[in-house]
Structure 1
């Protein structure tokens, strides 16, 4: 006498093992469809977090507002103001602007992983822009204070922390 399980019987009715695999594949597609397209009347789509595929990425980043911080010890003493953004820092001195562009190389080795991981080494490219015959003693002032503040809590010594650093919309050279 041979014993056959229910699972085996269902598999045979569906066309053997291949039929069972087809059934599993179809159920997986249905589950994926519900995750991607599903949702009931109570669900709301998440807001977009970046440029739409049809938008030009450069135009998207160019539209983001800059905010400048007065250097209060957060960087080199020659820097008067700095601005930070996704992947860059802009340093303004009396006579030059230095743009540091940061990136991380993806540690993805093959195309099997669908999303890039952020574990690769950091690289920084630097662009220095200096005006010829510029006044090295130019007065650099901030204009249009913004409501946001920056805070730097680096290390364990509260004396070295920078709290409530004002941010500005513009910087003026005179």
Structure 2
């Protein structure tokens, strides 16, 4: 088996705070998302989902969002968003031992849908998530600084 070590960065503009020097923030899954989602971070054009077997990046067209805001004054019409989805799979990886670190001073709330049993409040927010032993002797850190999402192996 060959292992490729890499570091990646992509611009992320988190909606969770206003100081870009703080980086991005991850909210843990406390039952507000499907079980395979470990954590999530929003950015200006979508979301990054850290999952037990990789990560998913969902991106929408910001111009389409702006156009939908003007449609709100009209009760009829297509208000849907088209998403582009990018997936990174961790092939043949072990189920990770997930550890959040750098806990931040605020929490988030998720009131998704009208089923109150799925609502979650006061979810801790972290500056980093580590997947320990994803491969033998290999960990992955998911972090961010200056609005760049990074993962390092």
Q: TM-score range by the shorter chain?
A: 0.5 to 0.7
Distance 1:67 1:60 in 2: 10
- Alpha-carbon shift at residue 60 of structure 1 (Å): 8.2
> Going by fraction, where is strand more abundant, 1 or 2?
2
Cα RMSD after superposing both structures: 2.8
What residue ranges of structure 1 are gaps of 5+ in the alignment?
Answer: 1-57, 108-115
2:30 maps to 72
Q: 1:78 to 1:59 in 2, by over 3 A?
A: closer
> Going by fraction, where is helix more abundant, 1 or 2?
1
- Alpha-carbon shift at residue 103 of structure 1 (Å): 2.3
TM-score by length of 2: 0.59
Larger Rg: 1
Distance 1:71 1:101 in 2: 20
Aligned residue runs from structure 1 range 22-171, under 5 A: 61=13, 64=20, 65-106=23-64, 117-118=67-68, 119=71, 121-135=80-94, 137-156=95-114, 158-171=116-129
TM-score by length of 1: 0.53
- Structure possessing the higher relative contact order (Cα contacts under 8 Å, 6 or more residues apart): 2
